[in-house]
Amino acid sequence: MTARTSPPKISFREVTRSFPVKGGTFTAVDRVSLDVGEREFVTIVGPSGCGKSTLLNLAAGLAEPTSGEVVVDGRRVTGPGPDRGMIFQQYALFPWLSVRRNVEFGLRVAGVGAAERRRRTDEAIDLVGLGDFADALPKTLSGGMKQRCAIARAYAVDPDVLLMDEPFGALDSLTRVQLQDQLLDTWRQQTRTVVFVTHDVEEAVYLAGRVVVMAARPGRVHQVIDIPLPYPRTEETRLSAEFAALRNQVWGAVHHQEAPAEPPAR
């Protein structure tokens, strides 16, 4: 899992992202270096304002680093592309399109032919179990279903990398657990590299092979903790002593960081 023989899939190299604010500069992430291996599942946790979402935006190409670079597959990221799918906390479904039309959006944009598009769309919709709701509008779906639709939309274009920005943060805890298991299932079926941002320590440990704990002001990598629990993970994993120990370790790393340097602006 963490033994990476091949070159990293995603490489953050001394990445800094800062922007001017009133009376100074706000540094969202400060000289972050981090490698994510091919097919690795990495979660990023940390207090709010630690720049975890910024890291995802940088990898997605939605934001540009002030200095340093993000490299995916050996190529420097200069903008968004369908090789890197992204899932947003607020689902970001196109509300005027049905589930099916949402899912096939990326394929249409890429000019995929009708038959092939139909096949891949159906496949993605089935994968997340929304087959009965293919023609429903997003407003009629529950939060969990919306997020499953968003996941299907990202899967349909078959990205190598999945960037997930607190995707289950707005869901109730039961739905969240369901979607976590579903995500791990689909990840094991069609393995891809996943970077998953969350503020939920339990979620971070349950999903990941490696947890990156960040610190705030300025956002930086605080600690990287390996999670040597075997997949598939189940309820048993969740209730095991090893899991509890790892959760406590990550919890400690998140909640007992040295006090941040006081003024948020540097």
Partner 1 sequence: MKAGQPPDMAAAAAEPPAGEAPHLAQRAGARRAGRRREAPRGDATRRRRRPPAPLLNVLSLAAGLAVWALVAAHGVGGLPGPAAVGRRAVDMLRDGTLEGDMLASVRRVLAGFALGTALAVLLGLLMGWYPVVRALCEPYVQFFRTIPPLALIPLAVVLMGIGETPKIFVIFLAAFLSSVVATLQGVVGVDRTLIDAARVLGARDSTVFLRVVIPAAAPFILVGMRIGLGSAWATVVAAELIAAQEGLGFRMQHAETYYDLDTIFVGLVAIGVLGLVMDRLLLLAERRLTRWQERR
Closer residue to partner 1 (CB): 96 or 231:
96
169 binds partner 1 (CB under 8 A): no
Stretch that binds partner 1, among 105-113, 187-195, 202-210, 247-255 (CB under 8 A): 105-113
Sign of CA pseudo-dihedral 40, 46, 50, 54: positive
* DSSP state letters, 101-162: HHHTHHHHHTT--HHHHHHHHHHHHHHTT-GGGTT--GGGS-HHHHHHHHHHHHHHT--SEE
CA distance 77 to 73: 9
Task: Report the alpha-carbon distance of residue 105 to residue 124 in Å, rounded.
Answer: 12
Indicate the residue among 150 and 197 with the shorter CB distance to partner 1: 150
Backbone angles phi, psi at 228, to 5 degrees: -85, 35
Binder among 21, 109, 245, 261 for partner 1 (CB under 8 A)? 109
Asked whether position 175 contacts partner 1 by CB under 8 A, the answer is no
Q: Does 80 bind partner 1 (CB under 8 A)?
A: yes
Q: How far is the CB of 61 from partner 1 (least distance, A)?
A: 8
Considering the complex, what minimum distance in angstroms separates the CB of residue 67 from partner 1? 23
Q: Does 78 help bind partner 1 (rule: CB under 8 A)?
A: no
Q: Which of 94, 172, 190, 255 binds partner 1 (CB under 8 A)?
A: 94
Q: Which stretch binds partner 1 (CB under 8 A): 85-93, 113-121, 206-214, 232-240?
A: 85-93
Q: Which of 86, 184, 197, 213 binds partner 1 (CB under 8 A)?
A: 86
Q: What angle do CA 159, 34, 43 make, to 5 degrees?
A: 60
Residue 221, SS3 per DSSP: strand
**How far out from the chain centre does Cα 15 lie?**
18
* CA-CA-CA-CA torsion sign (200, 147, 2, 206): positive
Of 81-89, 188-196, 221-229, 258-266, the window that binds partner 1 (rule: CB under 8 A) is 81-89
- Complex with partner 1: residue 192 or 220, whichever CB lies closer: 192
Residue 77 makes contact with partner 1 by CB under 8 A: no
CB nearer to partner 1: pick between 157 and 250: 157
Q: Which stretch binds partner 1 (CB under 8 A): 91-99, 120-128, 179-187, 198-206?
A: 91-99
> CB of 144 within 8 A of CB of 171?
yes
Return the ∠ at Cα 191 (arms to 189 and 194), rounded to 5°: 130
Residues facing residue 226 across a β-bridge: 210
Give the nearer residue to partner 1 in terms of CB position, either 76 or 266. 76
| Distance separating alpha carbons of residues 154 and 150, to the nearest angstrom | 6
Residues in contact with partner 1 by the rule CB under 8 A: 60, 62, 79-82, 84-86, 88, 90, 92-97, 105-106, 109-110, 137-140, 150, 153-154, 157
